[in-house]
């Protein structure tokens, strides 16, 4: 837990103080990013290496371990020199195996050196899922890191502000011994969704959470919409789990681990439903724009030729090589499409 970015010494220390006060009984690692992998070069890029000493100062006052993100061998070197306990590799770096391998090699060098001079004692390394939904790449990164002998943890932060439960499940099955954490902050981009995602992760048996916490979220220089206060995270973490009701009506002969299999599958279904609705909504949006175009050019919303053309395409047996249509009955596809098309026309006519 901790801020997205270490912005100022006072902010790092004040968030730390409030976290210690609110969450003193909950074991946590204090996080803050010094080097920020931002999409735009015109936004706050992080304070760089000077932020590390603020984290280490917070550690010396409040006594918790501290973590920061590394993306290059220089970051690894500076973080270890400063006395950071845990490092994490972010989603963008995790998408690049060459970058991960370079970090692995710098970690191996640091370990070698620390045997000689006592500096650079690292307690663990966290690896986020890549920005793209690729379980194999995430597992590959875990295996690269495992070679260093440093304890590894996996962090599921989703893709495009959505969870990717199937990817997380694949990693959990392939690497059951690796602690699996959820990052509900980057997964949703929305402070309002943190509690629900933590609840879901609890139900699935996640081992912990990496949450962005800021003493004044509305003033944060990065990811302001997804950060929550120390008081709020305390409330969320101490809340009684409720969603277990979802599986509580299963026969008592079903063990907890078997029930978890159903929870993972249901998580996947919920995620796919969300994607389905998002795709349909995006389709309606394009359809509305087509409606405006037709209106501007004096063309009727229903164009029989186009309608027949799409119907015929749907009635043609699918190409056996077309993966996307596997297992769907033509009647079902036609019925579903008719329903969507009808709604589209309604929107164009309105």
| Residues making contact with Mn ion (CB under 5 A) | 4, 223
- Residue 56 and residue 8 in contact, taking contact as beta carbons nearer than 8 Å: no
Residue nearest to ligand PEP (CB): 90
Nearer to ligand PEP by Cβ, of 1 and 80: the residue is 1
Smallest separation, CB 94 to ligand PEP (Å): 7
Confirm or reject binding of residue 75 to ligand PEP (CB under 6 A): no
Instruction: Quote the CA–CA distance of 135 and 167 in Å, as a whole number.
Output: 5
Instruction: Quote the CA–CA distance of 270 and 131 in Å, as a whole number.
Output: 20
- Residue 59 contacts which entry, ligand PEP, Mn ion, none (Cβ below 5-8 A, type-dependent): none
Nearer to ligand PEP by Cβ, of 179 and 318: the residue is 179
Selected range binding ligand PEP among 84-92, 113-121, 173-181, 283-291, rule: CB under 6 A: 84-92
Selected range binding ligand PEP among 43-51, 88-96, 264-272, 276-284, rule: CB under 6 A: 88-96
Smallest separation, CB 133 to ligand PEP (Å): 14
Confirm or reject binding of residue 128 to ligand PEP (CB under 6 A): yes
Smallest separation, CB 226 to ligand PEP (Å): 10
Nearer to ligand PEP by Cβ, of 39 and 248: the residue is 39
Continuous segment of H or E residues that includes residue 152: strand 152-156
Is residue 86 classed as helix, strand or coil in its secondary structure? strand
Is residue 246 classed as helix, strand or coil in its secondary structure? helix
Confirm or reject binding of residue 214 to ligand PEP (CB under 6 A): no
Q: How many CB atoms lie within 10 A of CB 257?
A: 8
The CA distances from residue 75 to 55, 87, 149, 281, 332, in Å, are 15, 10, 19, 42, 54
Confirm or reject binding of residue 267 to ligand PEP (CB under 6 A): no
- Residue 267 contacts which entry, ligand PEP, Mn ion, none (Cβ below 5-8 A, type-dependent): none
* Residues numbered 134-173 forming contacts with ligand PEP, rule: CB under 6 A: 157
Smallest separation, CB 309 to ligand PEP (Å): 42
- Residue 324 and residue 264 in contact, taking contact as beta carbons nearer than 8 Å: no
- The tokens for 287 are 């359809």
- Residue 36 and residue 5 in contact, taking contact as beta carbons nearer than 8 Å: yes
Instruction: Quote the CA–CA distance of 265 and 262 in Å, as a whole number.
Output: 5
Confirm or reject binding of residue 130 to ligand PEP (CB under 6 A): no
Instruction: Quote the CA–CA distance of 187 and 161 in Å, as a whole number.
Output: 5
Look-up of token digits 């019925």? 335
* Sites of contact with ligand PEP (CB under 6 A): 4, 33, 37, 69, 90-92, 128, 157, 183, 186
């Amino acid at each position: 837990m901790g801020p997205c970015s270490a912005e100022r010494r006072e902010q790092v220390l004040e968030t730390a103080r409030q976290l210690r006060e609110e969450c003193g009984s909950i074991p946590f690692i204090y996080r803050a990013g010094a080097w920020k992998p931002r999409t735009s070069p015109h936004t706050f890029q992080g304070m760089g290496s000077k932020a590390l000493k603020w984290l280490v100062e917070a550690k010396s006052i409040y006594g918790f371990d501290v973590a920061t993100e590394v993306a290059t061998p220089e970051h690894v070197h500076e973080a270890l020199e400063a006395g950071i306990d845990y490092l994490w590799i972010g989603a963008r770096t995790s998408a690049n195996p060459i970058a991960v391998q370079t970090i692995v090699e710098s970690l191996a060098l640091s370990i070698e050196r620390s045997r000689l001079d006592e500096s650079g004692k690292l307690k663990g390394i966290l690896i986020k899922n890549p920005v793209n939904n690729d379980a194999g790449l995430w597992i590959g990164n875990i295996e690269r890191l495992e070679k260093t002998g440093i304890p590894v943890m996996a962090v599921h932060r989703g893709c495009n502000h959505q969870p990717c439960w199937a990817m997380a499940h694949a990693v959990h099955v392939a690497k059951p011994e690796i602690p699996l954490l959820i990052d509900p902050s980057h997964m949703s981009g929305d402070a309002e969704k943190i509690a629900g995602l933590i609840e879901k992760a609890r139900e699935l048996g996640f081992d912990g959470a990496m949450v962005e916490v800021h003493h004044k979220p509305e003033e944060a220089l990065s990811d302001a919409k997804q950060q929550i206060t120390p008081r709020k995270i305390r409330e969320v973490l101490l809340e009684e789990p409720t969603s277990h009701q979802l599986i509580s009506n299963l026969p008592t002969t079903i063990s907890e681990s078997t029930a978890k299999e159903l929870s993972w599958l249901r998580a996947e279904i919920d995620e796919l439903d969300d994607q389905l609705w998002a795709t349909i909504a995006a389709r309606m949006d394009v359809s509305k724009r087509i409606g405006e175009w037709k209106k501007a050019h004096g063309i009727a919303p229903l164009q029989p030729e186009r309608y027949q053309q799409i119907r015929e395409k749907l009635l043609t047996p699918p190409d056996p090589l077309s993966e996307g249509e596997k297992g769907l009955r033509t009647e079902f596809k036609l019925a579903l499409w008719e329903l969507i098309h009808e709604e589209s026309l309604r929107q164009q006519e309105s």
